[in-house]
Amino acid sequence: MAVMQRLVSQLPSNSTATLVFNDLPSNDFNNLIKLLPNIKYFDSTKTIYPCIIPNSFYNPIMPQSTVDVAFALSSIHWLRQVPPPKSTSESFEEFLRKRDSRNSAASHKDLIEFLNLRGREIKSGGKLIVAAPSPCADNEDGRITGNERLRCALFKAMENLIAVGKLPPNATAGIYPPNHVHTERSFRAAINETKRVWEIEKVYSRVIPHPAYQAMLESQKGLRDTELHKAFERAYANTVVNWILAVFEPFMKSWWIEEGLNEEACEQVFQECSSLAKIEFVENAGAQLPVAQDFIFVRLNRY
């Protein structure tokens, strides 16, 4: 919404604009719908018509050559097809290696399709602005993050629940979200295959720390009370574990149900898994490090 507000602010007075929001039909649009009435307060000198289109962006969204500016924010890393689960004969490391290689090829095809679809919808001279997760900031270039400890905390929690029989033995195998992150190289490779539909005007990367880390540091400043210090670490752990579980939850629950849990037991064990992951993250010193994500930002011009 903030992106839209900034865009509207740059339009000439007495302009008329249509703002189109797109996501999958399965998305919960209720929060967005509650915000839409606020759009009229962006700028009273402009007439704004908001609308929602529930559809996959791997399908046509708008009529040909009708869009001036389009934004894809934290979305194009999602693949069209869910990758197959880890087989029982594969180690975790083997599965990740194969998954990465396979998803890279699928992601390349998906990005070309996405760019071609938006190329038909965006006018000549129009812009497509992309902000997408890039390879995780895991101890690269001297940057020490809590990313790996966060993921380990989640899987350690599940392993503990497997050990006591609350989760099926294969509970961790099929819960990997269908996504693959992009790099500047992968963007350029896809754009080269769009038959001169797009040119890159600007591209850069940034490491974006989770804001909860800085909030924790500010709260701990000058504290001598060890227990209070730990309380803020736990609050940070709660936030980042909830954040990662917002992505993993539907995949975890659907896989666990497929593996034999009923819905009631699934919800109960999910809450227990969340609590254990938060404890593990703090005990493994993850809360002393920033959880962060690399993002790549790309501005494309439509020929």
137 has a pLDDT exceeding 70: no
Contact (CB, 8 A) for 76 and 45? no
In a domain, 84, yes or no: yes
In a domain, 189, yes or no: yes
Q: What's the CATH number where 67 sits? A: 3.40.50
Q: Strand, helix or coil at 179?
A: strand
In a domain, 145, yes or no: yes
163 has a pLDDT exceeding 80: yes
20 has a pLDDT exceeding 60: yes
Strand partners, 16: 47
The sign of the CA dihedral 159, 161, 165, 170 is negative
pLDDT tens for 182-237 read 989 999 999 999 978 999 999 998 888 999 999 999 999 999 999 999 999 999 99
Instruction: Work out how many domains the chain is built from and give that number.
Output: 1
Query: At 298, which helix (H) or strand (E)?
Result: strand 292-302
Q: What is the pLDDT of residue 143?
A: 67
Report which of residues 91 and 151 the model is more confident about: 151
Put the strands of the sheet holding 67-73 in their side by side order.
Answer: 67-73, 122-133, 292-302, 198-209
In a domain, 191, yes or no: yes
Q: Strand, helix or coil at 210?
A: coil
pLDDT tens for 108-121 read 999 999 999 999 99
Query: At 297, which helix (H) or strand (E)?
Result: strand 292-302
Return d(Cα 210, Cα 212) in angstroms, integer. Answer: 5
In a domain, 11, yes or no: no
Which of 140-149, 194-203, 237-246 has the weakest average pLDDT?
Answer: 140-149
Q: What is the pLDDT of residue 153?
A: 94
Return d(Cα 90, Cα 173) in angstroms, integer. Answer: 10
Q: Strand, helix or coil at 84?
A: coil
Strand partners, 232: none
Contact (CB, 8 A) for 294 and 135? yes
Instruction: Please give the radius of gyration of the chain, using alpha carbons only, rounded to the nearest integer.
Output: 22
Average pLDDT score over the chain: 90
Report which of residues 171 and 82 the model is more confident about: 171
Return d(Cα 180, Cα 133) in angstroms, integer. Answer: 9
pTM of the model: 0.83
Which of 39-48, 106-115, 139-148, 281-290 has the weakest average pLDDT?
Answer: 139-148
Structure-token pair, residue 150? 């966060």
In a domain, 178, yes or no: yes
Strand partners, 165: none
282 has a pLDDT exceeding 80: yes
4 band by pLDDT with thresholds 50, 70 and 90: confident
42 band by pLDDT with thresholds 50, 70 and 90: confident
Return d(Cα 95, Cα 100) in angstroms, integer. Answer: 8
Whole-Å CA distances, 35 to 28, 42, 218, 245: 13, 12, 30, 24
In a domain, 188, yes or no: yes
Q: What is the pLDDT of residue 202?
A: 96
The sign of the CA dihedral 89, 93, 94, 98 is positive
Q: What is the mean pLDDT of residues 44-55?
A: 91
In a domain, 230, yes or no: yes
User: What is the separation, in whole angstroms, between the first and last Cα of the chain?
Assistant: 28
Q: What is the pLDDT of residue 92?
A: 62
Q: What is the mean pLDDT of residues 126-136?
A: 90
DSSP type of residue 86: P
Q: What percent of the chain stands above pLDDT 90?
A: 65
Residue range(s) defining the domain that contains residue 200: 56-302
User: From its phi and psi, is residue 10 left (phi > 0), alpha (psi between -120 and 50) or beta?
Assistant: alpha
Q: Return the top range by mean pLDDT from 132-141, 161-170, 171-180.
A: 161-170
Whole-Å CA distances, 295 to 35, 57, 152, 206, 253: 26, 20, 22, 5, 28
Instruction: Count CB neighbours of 265 within 10 A.
Output: 14
Q: What is the pLDDT of residue 227?
A: 94
